[in-house]
Amino acid sequence: MIAPPVARPRDGATAERRFRVGAVTVVPVVQFHYRVHPLRFFPDLDLTTVDETAWYWQPPYREGERVVVDMGGFVVRTPERTLLVDAGIGNGKDRPNPVFDHRDDDWFAALGRAGVAPEEIDTVVFTHLHVDHVGFATRFDGTAWVPAFPNARYLTTAPELAYWTGTQAGSDVERLGDYIGDSILPLQAAGVLDLVEPDLRICEEVRLVPAAGHTPGNVSVEVRSQGRRAVFAGDMVHHALQLAFPERSTDYCIDACGASTARLELLRDIADQDVLLFPAHFPQSTPGRVVTDPAGGYRYEPVEGEPV
């Protein structure tokens, strides 16, 4: 029997950390720490063949019999703009997964510790529309779900929205809950959801990069400033195992082959370069640099950052 997932709250005593990409600053804002049996993400993984001593199977990427999958989003400040890349699970929402159901986390307090008020966010970028990337996009005002960031435009792609509001997503929505109804459709009703091209340049330093596969309209987010570069990979790299074995996709990838192709293209592009990778779910949402592993695949070199 596969062990059920567990979670623990974000430690409020742990300081948020800032990372610099030229003139751009990034602060990961973790909602909570999720721990899940690896077969829930990689159901065809033969656990008897996994090297227990491998770097990707050690803490902080694994705790006991579960793998580490932290939840949250990223605040990105350019000289002119303040963006949020992805928006966690959210609070107070009906979800089939009991760990996600009606959460009550101090995520907005963590956002405040990162130095950002909700009204300062001018752009919310969804790398894709999965339940754990859109939750804090809306808040309940006592009668309805409304946009949580009153001055923001919310960005996704047309193929992404079409998939999740169409009949093809039926089994996924059944598994993950009607999060489109409480986290995305209210944005559309309020007129603040923009369907954009997957290569949109948001501002001088930030652009979207097409990366379909994990979902039909999936994108990554690239930052370039003063000769420095960073990539927000969303779920293209869900767990460190996928750096060692880039061809391995998760059970949540809509197009497993397409996801593998997109991941390999990304890793080949950034490996052994001075590029910060921000995976959505690594421990503490810590970024790092990708380096080629002589034994095959890639390894990860986390970057410490500085206290906010």
283: cis peptide before it, omega within 30°? no
What is the pairing mode between strands 6-9 and 24-36?
Answer: antiparallel
Residue 66: the pLDDT is: 97
Length of the chain as a residue count: 308
In sequence order, which residues have a C-beta less than 8 Å from that of residue 99 and are 6 or more positions away? 5, 6, 7, 34
Task: Report the C-alpha gap between 63 and 225 in whole angstroms.
Answer: 36
Task: Give residue limits of the domains in the chain.
Answer: 16-303
Structure tokens belonging to residue 146:
């409304």
Of 160, 159, 218, 154, the closest CA to residue 188 belongs to 154
What is the chain's alpha carbon radius of gyration, rounded to the nearest angstrom?
A: 18
Predicted confidence (pLDDT) per residue in 9-57, tens digit:
987 767 789 999 999 999 999 999 999 999 999 999 999 999 999 999 9
Residue 168: the pLDDT is: 87
- Which listed CATH number (3.30.450.40, 2.130.10.10, 3.40.50.2300, 3.60.15.10) goes with 16-303? 3.60.15.10
Number of H helices, E strands in the chain: 9, 18
**3-state SS class at 4:** coil
Q: How many CB atoms are located within 10 Å of the residue 99 CB?
A: 16
Structure tokens belonging to residue 296:
């095959």
Predicted confidence (pLDDT) per residue in 86-119, tens digit:
999 999 999 999 999 999 999 999 999 999 999 9
Structure tokens belonging to residue 127:
């790398």
What is the pairing mode between strands 123-125 and 82-85?
Answer: parallel
Low-confidence residues in the chain, pLDDT < 50: none
Structure tokens belonging to residue 292:
């080629």
Residue 164: the pLDDT is: 96
Task: Report the C-alpha gap between 200 and 126 in whole angstroms.
Answer: 13
Structure tokens belonging to residue 279:
């995976």
